[in-house]
Amino acid sequence: MLIAAIWTGGCALALAAVQVTSWLRNNEWDFYPLSSVLISPHSTAYRIASSSKVDTDRIDFNSILDWLLAVPAVVPLLIAFAALIAFWKRLLKIARTPTSGTSPKS
């Protein structure tokens, strides 16, 4: 568990270091969106043509997906890192709690 947290934190630090060095070189903060990790720059997206009628009751999954893919790639890493550390601390707390002291009778 701790190894996974260290690895995730290391990946987040490496990505942040790349962003900081890019910022220092270009004087512009350019975050890497999640889509740059998940989607190839050479992939082609095809969309089916639809009518001009707007359906307000329908959820637009394409815009939700676009919004999720625009999230900086470091954000899911930091969330996973925090979850792993919290889970590890919880396991440590459980492991350190004394047992009831009564043994089952045979």
pLDDT tens for residues 25-36? 988 877 888 887
The confidence score (pLDDT) of residue 102 equals: 56
Single-letter residue type at 85: I
Q: In degrees rounded to 5, what are phi and psi of residue 72?
A: -60, 140
With the CA atoms of 32, 36, 37 and 40 taken in that order, what torsion angle do they form, in degrees rounded to the nearest 10? -160
pLDDT tens, 64-106?
888 888 888 889 999 999 999 999 999 999 989 887 655 555 5
68: nearest Cα among 31, 44, 33: 33
The confidence score (pLDDT) of residue 101 equals: 57
Query: What distances in angstroms separate CA 6 from CA 22, 75, 93, 101, one per listed residue?
Result: 24, 16, 19, 35
Residues 75/31, Cβ–Cβ less than 8 Å: no
Give me the residue spans of the domains in the chain. 1-37+69-97
The model's pTM is 0.66
The confidence score (pLDDT) of residue 38 equals: 75
pLDDT at 46 over 70: no
